[in-house]
Structure 1
Amino acid sequence: MKRYKQFAPVLISEFEVSDWIHPLHNHNHYELIYIRSGKGNHIINSNSIKYNDGYVFLLGPEDEHYFEIETITHFVYLKFTDLYIHQEEGMLNAGLRHLEYLIKSRETHLSGFVFNDSDRVTISRIFDVIISMKKEVLRNEDLIWMQVLTLAHILQRNMPEIRSNEHRTKDMQAVFCYIHKNIYYPEKLKAQVMAEHFKFTKDYIGQYFKKNTGMTIRDYVSVYRVNLIRQRLDSGKFRLKQIASEFGLTDESHVSKLLKQNRDKFSGF
Protein backbone atom coordinates (compact mmCIF):
# COMPACT_ATOMS: atom_id res chain seq x y z
CA MET A 1 0.00 0.00 0.00
CA LYS A 2 1.49 3.31 -1.06
CA ARG A 3 1.31 6.10 1.52
CA TYR A 4 1.63 9.74 0.48
CA LYS A 5 3.17 12.04 3.07
CA GLN A 6 2.60 15.75 3.34
CA PHE A 7 4.67 18.00 5.60
CA ALA A 8 3.20 21.41 4.75
CA PRO A 9 0.14 22.28 6.89
CA VAL A 10 -2.01 22.93 3.82
CA LEU A 11 -1.67 22.46 0.05
CA ILE A 12 -3.96 23.30 -2.88
CA SER A 13 -3.88 21.68 -6.30
CA GLU A 14 -6.03 21.80 -9.42
CA PHE A 15 -5.75 19.52 -12.45
CA GLU A 16 -7.72 17.90 -15.26
CA VAL A 17 -7.05 14.31 -16.36
CA SER A 18 -8.59 11.55 -18.43
CA ASP A 19 -6.64 8.73 -16.74
CA TRP A 20 -5.89 8.28 -13.05
CA ILE A 21 -2.18 7.55 -12.54
CA HIS A 22 -2.02 7.00 -8.79
CA PRO A 23 -2.25 3.49 -7.28
CA LEU A 24 -4.48 2.58 -4.36
CA HIS A 25 -3.05 4.69 -1.53
CA ASN A 26 -3.67 6.46 1.75
CA HIS A 27 -2.09 9.56 3.34
CA ASN A 28 -0.85 11.18 6.52
CA HIS A 29 -3.22 14.10 5.90
CA TYR A 30 -6.86 14.97 5.15
CA GLU A 31 -8.26 15.74 1.71
CA LEU A 32 -11.23 17.75 0.50
CA ILE A 33 -11.73 16.80 -3.15
CA TYR A 34 -14.04 18.85 -5.35
CA ILE A 35 -15.18 17.51 -8.74
CA ARG A 36 -15.57 20.63 -10.83
CA SER A 37 -16.55 18.53 -13.86
CA GLY A 38 -16.37 14.93 -15.00
CA LYS A 39 -17.85 11.52 -14.33
CA GLY A 40 -16.61 8.22 -12.95
CA ASN A 41 -16.19 6.21 -9.78
CA HIS A 42 -14.32 6.96 -6.58
CA ILE A 43 -13.16 3.80 -4.80
CA ILE A 44 -12.90 4.49 -1.05
CA ASN A 45 -12.03 1.65 1.32
CA SER A 46 -13.19 -0.87 -1.32
CA ASN A 47 -16.53 0.94 -1.76
CA SER A 48 -17.33 2.30 -5.23
CA ILE A 49 -19.12 5.67 -5.26
CA LYS A 50 -20.24 7.25 -8.53
CA TYR A 51 -19.29 10.90 -8.95
CA ASN A 52 -20.47 13.69 -11.22
CA ASP A 53 -20.05 17.45 -11.54
CA GLY A 54 -20.15 19.23 -8.19
CA TYR A 55 -19.46 16.25 -5.92
CA VAL A 56 -17.25 16.73 -2.85
CA PHE A 57 -15.35 13.99 -1.01
CA LEU A 58 -13.73 14.27 2.43
CA LEU A 59 -11.01 11.74 3.28
CA GLY A 60 -9.16 11.02 6.49
CA PRO A 61 -5.53 9.86 6.78
CA GLU A 62 -6.24 6.13 6.81
CA ASP A 63 -8.77 6.07 3.99
CA GLU A 64 -7.58 4.08 0.97
CA HIS A 65 -8.77 5.35 -2.38
CA TYR A 66 -8.33 5.86 -6.11
CA PHE A 67 -10.46 7.08 -9.04
CA GLU A 68 -11.86 5.31 -12.08
CA ILE A 69 -12.39 8.10 -14.60
CA GLU A 70 -15.08 7.73 -17.27
CA THR A 71 -14.93 11.26 -18.74
CA ILE A 72 -12.20 13.88 -18.38
CA THR A 73 -12.37 15.08 -14.79
CA HIS A 74 -11.40 18.44 -13.35
CA PHE A 75 -10.22 17.96 -9.75
CA VAL A 76 -9.61 20.55 -7.05
CA TYR A 77 -7.73 19.27 -3.99
CA LEU A 78 -7.39 20.94 -0.61
CA LYS A 79 -5.04 18.89 1.58
CA PHE A 80 -4.39 19.68 5.23
CA THR A 81 -2.71 18.06 8.23
CA ASP A 82 -3.58 17.63 11.90
CA LEU A 83 -1.33 20.59 12.61
CA TYR A 84 -3.59 22.73 10.44
CA ILE A 85 -6.77 21.46 12.11
CA HIS A 86 -5.54 21.90 15.66
CA GLN A 87 -4.53 25.51 15.41
CA GLU A 88 -4.18 27.43 18.66
CA GLU A 89 -7.31 29.22 19.81
CA GLY A 90 -9.36 27.41 17.19
CA MET A 91 -10.36 24.20 18.95
CA LEU A 92 -13.57 25.53 20.48
CA ASN A 93 -14.69 27.06 17.20
CA ALA A 94 -18.06 25.66 16.12
CA GLY A 95 -16.87 25.39 12.53
CA LEU A 96 -14.01 23.16 13.55
CA ARG A 97 -16.43 20.95 15.44
CA HIS A 98 -18.42 20.55 12.23
CA LEU A 99 -15.22 19.61 10.40
CA GLU A 100 -14.11 17.14 13.05
CA TYR A 101 -17.56 15.59 13.12
CA LEU A 102 -17.47 15.15 9.35
CA ILE A 103 -13.97 13.67 9.35
CA LYS A 104 -14.78 11.15 12.07
CA SER A 105 -18.21 10.11 10.78
CA ARG A 106 -17.96 6.73 9.09
CA GLU A 107 -20.59 7.44 6.46
CA THR A 108 -18.73 10.56 5.29
CA HIS A 109 -16.09 8.30 3.78
CA LEU A 110 -18.58 5.99 2.12
CA SER A 111 -20.35 8.53 -0.05
CA GLY A 112 -19.90 11.80 -1.85
CA PHE A 113 -21.70 14.94 -0.76
CA VAL A 114 -24.54 15.87 -3.11
CA PHE A 115 -25.98 19.38 -2.84
CA ASN A 116 -29.09 21.28 -3.83
CA ASP A 117 -28.77 23.94 -6.53
CA SER A 118 -28.15 26.76 -4.08
CA ASP A 119 -25.42 24.94 -2.16
CA ARG A 120 -23.80 23.77 -5.41
CA VAL A 121 -23.32 27.39 -6.46
CA THR A 122 -21.93 28.34 -3.06
CA ILE A 123 -19.53 25.38 -3.00
CA SER A 124 -18.28 26.24 -6.49
CA ARG A 125 -17.58 29.83 -5.50
CA ILE A 126 -15.79 28.82 -2.31
CA PHE A 127 -13.47 26.58 -4.29
CA ASP A 128 -12.90 29.45 -6.74
CA VAL A 129 -11.69 31.52 -3.79
CA ILE A 130 -9.47 28.67 -2.59
CA ILE A 131 -7.93 28.23 -6.03
CA SER A 132 -7.22 31.96 -6.25
CA MET A 133 -4.94 31.62 -3.21
CA LYS A 134 -2.97 28.54 -4.21
CA LYS A 135 0.10 30.48 -5.40
CA GLU A 136 0.52 32.14 -2.00
CA VAL A 137 -0.66 29.48 0.43
CA LEU A 138 1.58 30.54 3.33
CA ARG A 139 0.47 34.16 3.07
CA ASN A 140 -3.19 33.12 2.87
CA GLU A 141 -3.32 30.30 5.44
CA ASP A 142 -5.82 32.11 7.67
CA LEU A 143 -8.07 32.98 4.74
CA ILE A 144 -7.96 29.39 3.48
CA TRP A 145 -8.87 28.18 6.96
CA MET A 146 -11.97 30.40 6.87
CA GLN A 147 -13.01 28.71 3.62
CA VAL A 148 -12.45 25.27 5.17
CA LEU A 149 -14.71 26.13 8.12
CA THR A 150 -17.37 27.53 5.79
CA LEU A 151 -17.27 24.32 3.76
CA ALA A 152 -17.58 22.33 6.98
CA HIS A 153 -20.85 24.12 7.81
CA ILE A 154 -22.28 23.43 4.36
CA LEU A 155 -21.16 19.79 4.31
CA GLN A 156 -22.55 19.21 7.78
CA ARG A 157 -26.04 20.35 6.82
CA ASN A 158 -25.91 17.98 3.85
CA MET A 159 -25.18 14.89 5.95
CA PRO A 160 -27.60 11.98 5.36
CA GLU A 161 -29.36 12.25 8.71
CA ILE A 162 -29.98 15.97 8.20
CA ARG A 163 -31.66 15.35 4.85
CA SER A 164 -33.46 12.15 5.88
CA ASN A 165 -37.17 12.02 6.38
CA GLU A 166 -39.11 10.41 9.20
CA HIS A 167 -39.04 6.83 7.94
CA ARG A 168 -35.21 6.89 8.14
CA THR A 169 -35.00 7.90 11.81
CA LYS A 170 -33.97 4.35 12.72
CA ASP A 171 -31.10 4.37 10.25
CA MET A 172 -27.95 3.21 12.02
CA GLN A 173 -25.89 5.84 10.25
CA ALA A 174 -28.10 8.51 11.79
CA VAL A 175 -27.34 7.09 15.23
CA PHE A 176 -23.59 7.30 14.54
CA CYS A 177 -23.98 10.87 13.30
CA TYR A 178 -25.98 11.85 16.37
CA ILE A 179 -23.25 10.51 18.66
CA HIS A 180 -20.42 12.16 16.73
CA LYS A 181 -22.22 15.49 16.60
CA ASN A 182 -23.09 15.49 20.31
CA ILE A 183 -19.87 14.03 21.71
CA TYR A 184 -19.28 17.37 23.48
CA TYR A 185 -22.61 17.19 25.33
CA PRO A 186 -22.79 14.20 27.73
CA GLU A 187 -26.40 14.92 28.64
CA LYS A 188 -27.47 14.34 25.03
CA LEU A 189 -25.76 10.94 24.97
CA LYS A 190 -27.74 9.42 27.81
CA ALA A 191 -29.78 6.41 26.71
CA GLN A 192 -33.11 7.99 27.61
CA VAL A 193 -32.38 11.19 25.69
CA MET A 194 -31.20 9.26 22.62
CA ALA A 195 -34.21 6.96 22.79
CA GLU A 196 -36.57 9.93 22.75
CA HIS A 197 -34.71 11.51 19.85
CA PHE A 198 -34.96 8.35 17.72
CA LYS A 199 -38.43 7.38 18.94
CA PHE A 200 -37.14 4.18 20.57
CA THR A 201 -37.64 2.89 24.06
CA LYS A 202 -34.62 3.19 26.36
CA ASP A 203 -34.08 -0.58 26.40
CA TYR A 204 -34.54 -1.03 22.66
CA ILE A 205 -32.00 1.57 21.54
CA GLY A 206 -29.28 -0.20 23.54
CA GLN A 207 -30.18 -3.57 22.05
CA TYR A 208 -30.45 -2.08 18.56
CA PHE A 209 -27.02 -0.45 18.78
CA LYS A 210 -25.25 -3.52 20.13
CA LYS A 211 -26.88 -5.77 17.54
CA ASN A 212 -25.54 -3.56 14.73
CA THR A 213 -22.09 -2.74 16.14
CA GLY A 214 -21.16 -5.47 18.60
CA MET A 215 -20.59 -2.89 21.33
CA THR A 216 -22.72 -0.94 23.76
CA ILE A 217 -23.54 2.72 23.22
CA ARG A 218 -21.63 3.54 26.40
CA ASP A 219 -18.47 1.80 25.19
CA TYR A 220 -18.67 3.37 21.73
CA VAL A 221 -19.13 6.88 23.15
CA SER A 222 -16.31 6.35 25.62
CA VAL A 223 -13.76 5.15 23.08
CA TYR A 224 -14.77 7.74 20.48
CA ARG A 225 -14.45 10.56 23.03
CA VAL A 226 -11.06 9.31 24.23
CA ASN A 227 -9.74 9.17 20.67
CA LEU A 228 -10.64 12.83 20.19
CA ILE A 229 -9.08 13.75 23.54
CA ARG A 230 -5.85 11.96 22.63
CA GLN A 231 -5.63 13.96 19.41
CA ARG A 232 -5.81 17.16 21.40
CA LEU A 233 -3.16 16.00 23.84
CA ASP A 234 -0.89 14.80 21.02
CA SER A 235 -1.04 18.25 19.42
CA GLY A 236 0.54 19.68 22.58
CA LYS A 237 -1.63 22.80 22.39
CA PHE A 238 -4.36 22.04 24.90
CA ARG A 239 -4.40 21.64 28.67
CA LEU A 240 -6.51 19.08 30.48
CA LYS A 241 -8.65 21.89 31.88
CA GLN A 242 -9.50 23.11 28.35
CA ILE A 243 -10.31 19.59 27.21
CA ALA A 244 -12.51 18.92 30.23
CA SER A 245 -14.49 22.09 29.53
CA GLU A 246 -14.91 21.33 25.83
CA PHE A 247 -16.24 17.80 26.40
CA GLY A 248 -18.49 18.71 29.31
CA LEU A 249 -16.41 16.72 31.79
CA THR A 250 -16.17 17.54 35.49
CA ASP A 251 -12.49 18.47 35.70
CA GLU A 252 -8.95 17.44 34.72
CA SER A 253 -9.08 14.31 36.89
CA HIS A 254 -12.16 13.15 34.97
CA VAL A 255 -10.19 13.40 31.71
CA SER A 256 -7.25 11.48 33.21
CA LYS A 257 -9.61 8.79 34.52
CA LEU A 258 -11.19 8.31 31.08
CA LEU A 259 -7.78 7.99 29.44
CA LYS A 260 -6.67 5.41 31.98
CA GLN A 261 -9.88 3.39 31.69
CA ASN A 262 -9.66 3.24 27.90
CA ARG A 263 -5.90 2.84 27.49
CA ASP A 264 -6.14 -0.70 26.15
CA LYS A 265 -9.84 -0.88 25.39
CA PHE A 266 -10.94 -1.68 21.85
CA SER A 267 -7.51 -1.17 20.34
CA GLY A 268 -7.76 -0.44 16.63
CA PHE A 269 -11.10 1.37 17.03
Structure 2
Amino acid sequence: MKRYKQFNKLVVNDFYTDVWNHPAHNHNHFEIIFIAKGTGVHYLNHKAIPYKTGHLYLLGPEDEHEFKVHEKTRFIYFKFTKFYLDTDDVDNPALWNKDVDILLNSEQRNKGNLIKHPEDENLIQNLLYLIVSEYNRNVILSRKIIFQFFKALVVILKRNLVEFESKRVRDNMGSKIEKILEYIELNIYDPKMLTHKKIAEYFNLSPNYVGIYFKEKMETSLKKYTQEYRYALLKQRLENGQSNNKQLAYDFGFVDESHLYKFIKKVSGKKIRDLKYN
Protein backbone atom coordinates (compact mmCIF):
# COMPACT_ATOMS: atom_id res chain seq x y z
CA MET A 1 0.00 0.00 0.00
CA LYS A 2 1.28 3.43 -0.93
CA ARG A 3 2.03 5.95 1.84
CA TYR A 4 1.97 9.63 0.92
CA LYS A 5 4.39 11.88 2.78
CA GLN A 6 3.92 15.58 3.44
CA PHE A 7 6.67 17.75 4.90
CA ASN A 8 4.92 21.13 4.96
CA LYS A 9 2.83 21.78 8.06
CA LEU A 10 -0.16 22.72 5.89
CA VAL A 11 -1.24 22.02 2.32
CA VAL A 12 -4.64 23.03 0.91
CA ASN A 13 -5.98 21.55 -2.36
CA ASP A 14 -9.16 22.48 -4.21
CA PHE A 15 -9.87 20.50 -7.39
CA TYR A 16 -12.48 18.85 -9.61
CA THR A 17 -12.14 15.33 -10.96
CA ASP A 18 -14.30 12.64 -12.55
CA VAL A 19 -11.62 9.96 -12.25
CA TRP A 20 -9.80 9.05 -9.02
CA ASN A 21 -6.17 8.21 -9.79
CA HIS A 22 -4.90 7.38 -6.29
CA PRO A 23 -5.11 3.71 -5.22
CA ALA A 24 -5.74 2.82 -1.59
CA HIS A 25 -3.18 4.66 0.54
CA ASN A 26 -2.45 6.25 3.89
CA HIS A 27 -0.32 9.25 4.90
CA ASN A 28 2.05 10.74 7.45
CA HIS A 29 -0.39 13.60 8.10
CA PHE A 30 -4.03 14.38 8.87
CA GLU A 31 -6.61 15.28 6.23
CA ILE A 32 -9.92 17.09 6.36
CA ILE A 33 -11.72 16.25 3.13
CA PHE A 34 -14.85 18.20 2.15
CA ILE A 35 -17.11 17.22 -0.74
CA ALA A 36 -18.08 20.60 -2.21
CA LYS A 37 -19.93 18.96 -5.10
CA GLY A 38 -20.50 15.47 -6.48
CA THR A 39 -21.31 11.89 -5.54
CA GLY A 40 -19.48 8.61 -5.29
CA VAL A 41 -18.12 6.11 -2.80
CA HIS A 42 -15.41 6.65 -0.19
CA TYR A 43 -13.56 3.45 0.72
CA LEU A 44 -12.36 4.15 4.26
CA ASN A 45 -10.52 1.42 6.13
CA HIS A 46 -12.08 -1.24 3.88
CA LYS A 47 -15.62 0.09 4.34
CA ALA A 48 -17.62 1.47 1.42
CA ILE A 49 -19.28 4.76 2.42
CA PRO A 50 -21.41 6.62 -0.15
CA TYR A 51 -20.52 10.32 -0.31
CA LYS A 52 -22.42 13.32 -1.61
CA THR A 53 -22.24 17.11 -1.60
CA GLY A 54 -21.72 18.49 1.90
CA HIS A 55 -20.00 15.46 3.43
CA LEU A 56 -16.79 15.87 5.41
CA TYR A 57 -14.18 13.33 6.52
CA LEU A 58 -11.28 13.57 8.96
CA LEU A 59 -8.49 11.05 8.35
CA GLY A 60 -5.52 10.23 10.55
CA PRO A 61 -2.08 9.01 9.43
CA GLU A 62 -2.97 5.30 9.63
CA ASP A 63 -6.35 5.53 7.91
CA GLU A 64 -6.43 3.81 4.51
CA HIS A 65 -8.73 5.22 1.86
CA GLU A 66 -9.56 5.92 -1.77
CA PHE A 67 -12.53 7.32 -3.70
CA LYS A 68 -14.65 6.05 -6.58
CA VAL A 69 -16.20 9.02 -8.34
CA HIS A 70 -19.71 8.60 -9.78
CA GLU A 71 -20.45 12.25 -10.52
CA LYS A 72 -17.70 14.78 -11.21
CA THR A 73 -16.62 15.88 -7.76
CA ARG A 74 -15.08 18.99 -6.24
CA PHE A 75 -12.78 17.99 -3.39
CA ILE A 76 -11.34 20.44 -0.88
CA TYR A 77 -8.42 19.01 1.09
CA PHE A 78 -7.01 20.60 4.26
CA LYS A 79 -3.89 18.52 4.97
CA PHE A 80 -1.90 19.20 8.12
CA THR A 81 0.93 17.56 10.05
CA LYS A 82 1.09 17.14 13.82
CA PHE A 83 3.20 20.31 14.02
CA TYR A 84 0.29 22.39 12.69
CA LEU A 85 -1.52 21.66 15.97
CA ASP A 86 1.01 23.61 18.04
CA THR A 87 -0.57 25.97 20.57
CA ASP A 88 1.46 29.12 19.85
CA ASP A 89 -1.50 30.93 18.28
CA VAL A 90 -4.27 29.94 20.70
CA ASP A 91 -5.47 31.88 23.73
CA ASN A 92 -6.31 28.82 25.81
CA PRO A 93 -3.95 25.91 24.99
CA ALA A 94 -5.63 23.51 27.42
CA LEU A 95 -9.06 24.00 25.84
CA TRP A 96 -7.62 23.83 22.32
CA ASN A 97 -5.84 20.57 23.07
CA LYS A 98 -9.01 19.05 24.48
CA ASP A 99 -10.99 20.04 21.39
CA VAL A 100 -8.33 18.48 19.16
CA ASP A 101 -8.35 15.33 21.32
CA ILE A 102 -12.10 14.99 20.85
CA LEU A 103 -11.73 15.12 17.07
CA LEU A 104 -8.69 12.92 16.64
CA ASN A 105 -9.94 10.23 19.04
CA SER A 106 -13.58 10.14 17.98
CA GLU A 107 -14.82 6.75 16.80
CA GLN A 108 -17.03 8.62 14.33
CA ARG A 109 -13.99 9.40 12.17
CA ASN A 110 -14.11 5.83 10.86
CA LYS A 111 -17.83 5.85 10.21
CA GLY A 112 -18.03 8.49 7.51
CA ASN A 113 -19.45 11.98 7.30
CA LEU A 114 -18.83 14.04 10.46
CA ILE A 115 -21.43 16.75 9.82
CA LYS A 116 -24.62 15.97 11.70
CA HIS A 117 -26.20 19.44 11.60
CA PRO A 118 -27.46 20.23 8.06
CA GLU A 119 -27.12 23.93 8.87
CA ASP A 120 -23.40 23.45 9.43
CA GLU A 121 -22.76 22.21 5.89
CA ASN A 122 -22.99 25.74 4.47
CA LEU A 123 -21.01 27.17 7.38
CA ILE A 124 -18.17 24.69 6.88
CA GLN A 125 -18.28 25.12 3.13
CA ASN A 126 -17.94 28.89 3.44
CA LEU A 127 -15.07 28.52 5.92
CA LEU A 128 -13.22 26.19 3.56
CA TYR A 129 -13.80 28.51 0.60
CA LEU A 130 -12.24 31.31 2.67
CA ILE A 131 -9.32 29.06 3.59
CA VAL A 132 -8.72 28.16 -0.09
CA SER A 133 -8.85 31.82 -1.10
CA GLU A 134 -6.44 32.93 1.62
CA TYR A 135 -4.11 30.00 0.99
CA ASN A 136 -3.89 30.86 -2.70
CA ARG A 137 -3.33 34.58 -1.98
CA ASN A 138 -0.41 33.72 0.29
CA VAL A 139 0.20 37.30 1.43
CA ILE A 140 1.26 38.76 4.76
CA LEU A 141 -0.57 37.15 7.71
CA SER A 142 -2.35 34.63 5.46
CA ARG A 143 -1.17 31.70 7.54
CA LYS A 144 -2.40 33.29 10.77
CA ILE A 145 -5.78 34.02 9.21
CA ILE A 146 -6.07 30.43 7.95
CA PHE A 147 -5.31 29.10 11.43
CA GLN A 148 -8.15 31.21 12.86
CA PHE A 149 -10.51 29.69 10.28
CA PHE A 150 -9.17 26.25 11.20
CA LYS A 151 -9.92 26.85 14.89
CA ALA A 152 -13.50 27.74 13.97
CA LEU A 153 -13.72 24.58 11.87
CA VAL A 154 -12.55 22.46 14.81
CA VAL A 155 -15.21 23.96 17.11
CA ILE A 156 -17.97 23.35 14.53
CA LEU A 157 -16.91 19.73 14.10
CA LYS A 158 -16.79 19.33 17.87
CA ARG A 159 -20.37 20.59 18.07
CA ASN A 160 -21.44 17.96 15.56
CA LEU A 161 -19.63 15.16 17.38
CA VAL A 162 -21.10 16.20 20.73
CA GLU A 163 -24.56 16.26 19.19
CA PHE A 164 -24.03 12.77 17.79
CA GLU A 165 -22.85 11.43 21.14
CA SER A 166 -25.75 13.11 22.97
CA LYS A 167 -28.23 11.53 20.57
CA ARG A 168 -26.59 8.14 21.02
CA VAL A 169 -26.91 8.44 24.79
CA ARG A 170 -30.51 9.68 24.55
CA ASP A 171 -31.31 6.67 22.38
CA ASN A 172 -29.87 4.44 25.11
CA MET A 173 -31.26 6.14 28.16
CA GLY A 174 -32.33 2.77 29.51
CA SER A 175 -28.70 1.74 29.70
CA LYS A 176 -27.06 3.00 32.89
CA ILE A 177 -23.59 2.02 31.67
CA GLU A 178 -23.94 4.33 28.65
CA LYS A 179 -24.60 7.25 30.97
CA ILE A 180 -21.62 6.36 33.16
CA LEU A 181 -19.36 6.10 30.11
CA GLU A 182 -20.56 9.51 28.92
CA TYR A 183 -19.83 10.96 32.38
CA ILE A 184 -16.29 9.53 32.26
CA GLU A 185 -15.72 10.97 28.79
CA LEU A 186 -16.88 14.42 29.87
CA ASN A 187 -14.66 14.38 32.97
CA ILE A 188 -11.62 12.49 31.69
CA TYR A 189 -9.38 15.55 32.18
CA ASP A 190 -10.36 15.92 35.84
CA PRO A 191 -9.35 12.80 37.83
CA LYS A 192 -11.00 14.13 40.99
CA MET A 193 -14.36 13.67 39.28
CA LEU A 194 -13.68 10.04 38.36
CA THR A 195 -13.52 8.42 41.79
CA HIS A 196 -16.10 5.81 42.79
CA LYS A 197 -17.45 8.29 45.33
CA LYS A 198 -17.94 11.15 42.84
CA ILE A 199 -19.57 8.94 40.22
CA ALA A 200 -21.82 7.37 42.84
CA GLU A 201 -22.89 10.80 44.09
CA TYR A 202 -23.65 11.98 40.55
CA PHE A 203 -25.86 8.96 39.79
CA ASN A 204 -27.27 8.64 43.33
CA LEU A 205 -25.76 5.18 43.79
CA SER A 206 -23.50 3.56 46.39
CA PRO A 207 -19.72 3.56 45.66
CA ASN A 208 -19.53 -0.22 46.05
CA TYR A 209 -22.38 -0.75 43.60
CA VAL A 210 -20.74 1.52 41.00
CA GLY A 211 -17.55 -0.55 41.04
CA ILE A 212 -19.34 -3.90 40.89
CA TYR A 213 -21.80 -2.76 38.20
CA PHE A 214 -19.08 -1.24 36.00
CA LYS A 215 -16.91 -4.37 36.12
CA GLU A 216 -19.91 -6.56 35.34
CA LYS A 217 -20.82 -4.53 32.24
CA MET A 218 -17.35 -3.58 30.96
CA GLU A 219 -15.35 -6.64 32.10
CA THR A 220 -12.71 -4.36 33.60
CA SER A 221 -12.48 -2.22 36.70
CA LEU A 222 -13.53 1.42 36.70
CA LYS A 223 -10.02 2.48 37.75
CA LYS A 224 -8.33 0.53 34.98
CA TYR A 225 -10.78 1.80 32.36
CA THR A 226 -10.23 5.46 33.26
CA GLN A 227 -6.45 4.99 33.46
CA GLU A 228 -6.31 3.37 30.03
CA TYR A 229 -8.60 6.04 28.58
CA ARG A 230 -6.40 8.86 29.93
CA TYR A 231 -3.28 7.07 28.73
CA ALA A 232 -4.72 6.67 25.21
CA LEU A 233 -5.37 10.42 25.03
CA LEU A 234 -1.91 11.21 26.40
CA LYS A 235 -0.25 8.82 23.95
CA GLN A 236 -2.10 10.43 21.04
CA ARG A 237 -1.01 13.88 22.19
CA LEU A 238 2.62 12.82 22.66
CA GLU A 239 2.83 11.05 19.31
CA ASN A 240 1.44 14.14 17.59
CA GLY A 241 3.92 16.38 19.38
CA GLN A 242 1.12 18.76 20.33
CA SER A 243 2.17 19.78 23.83
CA ASN A 244 5.16 20.09 26.09
CA ASN A 245 5.23 18.02 29.30
CA LYS A 246 4.20 20.92 31.52
CA GLN A 247 1.15 21.64 29.36
CA LEU A 248 0.22 17.95 29.32
CA ALA A 249 0.39 17.72 33.10
CA TYR A 250 -1.86 20.78 33.41
CA ASP A 251 -4.36 19.61 30.77
CA PHE A 252 -4.84 16.18 32.33
CA GLY A 253 -5.07 17.29 35.95
CA PHE A 254 -1.74 15.99 37.23
CA VAL A 255 -0.11 17.71 40.20
CA ASP A 256 3.10 18.27 38.23
CA GLU A 257 5.27 16.76 35.49
CA SER A 258 6.68 14.16 37.87
CA HIS A 259 3.18 12.85 38.56
CA LEU A 260 2.61 12.65 34.79
CA TYR A 261 5.81 10.64 34.29
CA LYS A 262 4.88 8.20 37.06
CA PHE A 263 1.39 7.71 35.61
CA ILE A 264 2.73 6.86 32.14
CA LYS A 265 5.33 4.50 33.59
CA LYS A 266 2.72 2.75 35.75
CA VAL A 267 0.17 2.26 32.97
CA SER A 268 2.47 1.49 30.05
CA GLY A 269 5.81 0.51 31.53
CA LYS A 270 7.40 3.11 29.26
CA LYS A 271 9.12 6.42 29.83
CA ILE A 272 7.52 9.52 28.40
CA ARG A 273 10.35 10.04 25.90
CA ASP A 274 9.60 6.62 24.39
CA LEU A 275 6.15 7.83 23.27
CA LYS A 276 7.18 11.07 21.61
CA TYR A 277 7.36 11.67 17.89
CA ASN A 278 6.98 8.08 16.75
Aligned to 1:208: 217
CA distance in structure 2 between the aligned counterparts of 1:174 and 1:167, rounded to whole angstroms: 11
* Structure with more helix by fraction: 2
CA distance in structure 2 between the aligned counterparts of 1:72 and 1:196, rounded to whole angstroms: 56
State the secondary structure of the residue aligned to 1:249. Answer: coil
More displaced 10-residue stretch of structure 1: 201-210 or 50-59? 201-210
The C-alpha deviation readout for 1:1-47, integer Å capped at 9, x for no partner, is 21111110111001111121111111111111111111122111112
Q: What's the offset of the Cα at 1:171?
A: 10
* Aligned: 1:186 with 2:195: no
CA contact (8 A) 1:96 1:152 kept: no
Aligned to 1:248: 253
More displaced 10-residue stretch of structure 1: 201-210 or 57-66? 201-210
Q: What's the offset of the Cα at 1:134?
A: 2.0
CA distance in structure 1 between the aligned counterparts of 2:131 and 2:184, rounded to whole angstroms: 31
CA distance in structure 2 between the aligned counterparts of 1:136 and 1:235, rounded to whole angstroms: 29
CA distance in structure 2 between the aligned counterparts of 1:77 and 1:249, rounded to whole angstroms: 37
**TM-score under structure 2 length normalisation:** 0.79
CA distance in structure 2 between the aligned counterparts of 1:64 and 1:195, rounded to whole angstroms: 41
The C-alpha deviation readout for 1:148-203, integer Å capped at 9, x for no partner, is 22111111121221344622344999877765554322234445656787999623
Aligned to 2:64: 64
**TM-score under structure 1 length normalisation:** 0.82
Give the counterpart letter for 2:171 in structure 1.
H
CA distance in structure 1 between the aligned counterparts of 2:35 and 2:180, rounded to whole angstroms: 29
CA distance in structure 1 between the aligned counterparts of 2:2 and 2:176, rounded to whole angstroms: 35
State the secondary structure of the residue aligned to 1:158. Answer: helix
CA contact (8 A) 1:191 1:205 kept: no
Aligned to 2:122: 121
Aligned to 1:146: 148
Give the counterpart letter for 1:128 in structure 2.
Y
Q: What's the offset of the Cα at 1:117?
A: 3.6
Aligned to 2:107: 106
Aligned to 1:9: 9
Seen in structure 2, the aligned counterparts of structure 1 residues 235 and 96 have a Cα distance that, compared at 3 Å, is closer
* Aligned: 1:168 with 2:165: no
Seen in structure 2, the aligned counterparts of structure 1 residues 193 and 109 have a Cα distance that, compared at 3 Å, is farther
Give the counterpart letter for 1:206 in structure 2.
K
CA contact (8 A) 2:82 2:242 kept: no
* Aligned: 1:225 with 2:230: yes
The C-alpha deviation readout for 1:95-134, integer Å capped at 9, x for no partner, is 4422221111222222212343421221111111111112
**Bigger Rg over Cα:** 2
CA contact (8 A) 1:88 1:237 kept: no
CA distance in structure 2 between the aligned counterparts of 1:23 and 1:241, rounded to whole angstroms: 42
CA contact (8 A) 2:86 2:243 kept: no
Q: What's the offset of the Cα at 1:87?
A: 3.4
CA distance in structure 2 between the aligned counterparts of 1:134 and 1:183, rounded to whole angstroms: 36
Q: What root-mean-square deviation, in Å, do the aligned CA atoms of Structure 1 and Structure 2 show?
A: 3.3
Give the counterpart letter for 2:107 in structure 1.
R
Length, aligned pairs only = 262
* Aligned: 1:29 with 2:36: no
Give the counterpart letter for 2:157 in structure 1.
L
Seen in structure 2, the aligned counterparts of structure 1 residues 110 and 232 have a Cα distance that, compared at 3 Å, is closer
Aligned to 1:132: 133
State the secondary structure of the residue aligned to 2:35. Answer: strand
CA contact (8 A) 1:3 1:28 kept: yes
Q: What's the offset of the Cα at 1:249?
A: 1.2
Q: Percent identity?
A: 33
Seen in structure 2, the aligned counterparts of structure 1 residues 195 and 144 have a Cα distance that, compared at 3 Å, is farther
